[in-house]
């Protein structure tokens, strides 16, 4: 007889944490996020427009440290709200996001 598992969630679902990113740009037509969590593919993570130049995105990420940029109409730039940045190999700066394990 097999034992039934009490938790039916996928193993990786319980190990992720929700991360909320906000960005403002008064004239942006599109805003996306490119980073180490999505293989630097901005098309994979579009931000949602709220109007009046405000954009948001909620991500579910496993614990770890990630580098990312906000991509405004195709132009990569660091997130001005990021607490930490690091130089990138292209002479620019990436934002750093540290995700702690959920409590």
User: Is 60 exceeded by the pLDDT of residue 31?
Assistant: yes
Mean pLDDT of 17-22: 96
In the chain, the domains with their CATH numbers are 15-99 (2.60.40.10)
**Residue 68 — φ and ψ, nearest 5°?**
-155, 165
pLDDT (tens digit per residue) in 60-77: 999 999 999 999 999 999
Report d(CA 89, CA 97) in Å as an integer.
18
Handedness of CA 103, 81, 62, 99 (dihedral sign): negative
Question: Taking all residues of the chain, what is their mean pLDDT, rounded to a whole number?
Answer: 89
Instruction: Give me the pLDDT at residue 23, please.
Output: 97
So what's the pLDDT on residue 101?
87
What is the reported pLDDT for 22? 97
């Amino acid at each position: 007889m097999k034992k039934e598992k009490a938790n039916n969630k996928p193993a990786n679902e319980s190990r992720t944490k929700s991360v909320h990113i906000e960005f403002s740009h008064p004239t942006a037509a599109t805003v996306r996020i490119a980073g180490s969590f999505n293989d630097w593919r901005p098309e994979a993570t579009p931000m949602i427009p709220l109007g009046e130049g405000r954009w948001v995105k909620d991500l579910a990420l496993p614990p770890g440290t990630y580098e990312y940029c906000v991509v405004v109409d195709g132009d990569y730039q660091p997130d001005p709200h990021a607490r930490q940045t690091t130089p990138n190999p292209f002479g620019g700066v990436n934002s750093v996001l540290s995700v702690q394990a959920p409590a």
